[in-house]
Amino acid sequence: MGLKENRQNLISPDLSLSSFEMGRDDVNVVCTYGKISIWFGRQVPDIVVGRILLGISNIDNSAVHELELMCDFEEIMEYEGHGYVLVSYAKSKKGYRTTFNVPFSSKKALFYLAGSITEELKDKDTVLDCYWTGDDSDIMRLYEELSNIEGWKLKSINYKDDAREKHSDSINFD
């Protein structure tokens, strides 16, 4: 069996997937149905941040990141100019409390998001949650897409047990 065939058969067709974890030492990606959670360590190169965001976009460009922030009214239009979609806003004592969706269908929005992540990484590690409609095959396609990043590896696959049980079966690859 070739490496490519082996990768495609990593997820058991007989079990219900709970989570699929992949990455490297400076970045961790956990995929579940409905959500991709990404931990970026401070040392992750800018190019890797961009490749992960574009990789997700290539697999499911309907994915979004929901961003909540405080800003001045003028800044709302600035974010919209970068491709962010305003979902809600409310005036408060410190400015405007806003919620934006960052659509993965917009390369412009992803480029701006990548720049924001890079800036944040100068001070601290960052977690980014993305919402998507991915299933087992999309998770495997994302793994294939991101496997081109140097040092990328599969970390663990967790399966749901019978719905009445609270724990998951787990396969670790470290």
pLDDT value of residue 174? 61
Is pLDDT of 8 > 60? Answer: no
Q: What is the mean pLDDT of residues 144-173?
A: 77
Confidence band for 161, pLDDT divided at 50, 70 and 90: confident
**Residues 110-142: pLDDT tens digits?**
999 999 999 999 999 999 999 999 999 999 999
- How much of the chain, in percent, has pLDDT values that exceed 70? 87
* C-beta separation of 52 from 66 below 8 A: no
Quote the number of domains for the chain.
1
Average pLDDT, the chain: 90
Please state whether 23 falls in left (phi above 0), alpha (psi between -120 and 50) or beta: left
Is 6 a member of any domain?
no
pLDDT value of residue 173? 65
- Which residue segment(s) compose the domain that 50 sits in? 18-62+125-174
Kindly write down the DSSP assignment for every residue of 45-91, as one continuous string.
-HHHHHHHHHHHHHH-TT-EEEEEEEE-HHHHHHHHHTT-EEEEEEE
Is 76 a member of any domain?
no
**Residues 51-110: pLDDT tens digits?**
999 999 999 999 999 999 999 999 999 999 999 999 999 999 999 999 999 999 999 999
Is 144 a member of any domain?
yes
pLDDT value of residue 9? 62
Is 110 a member of any domain?
no
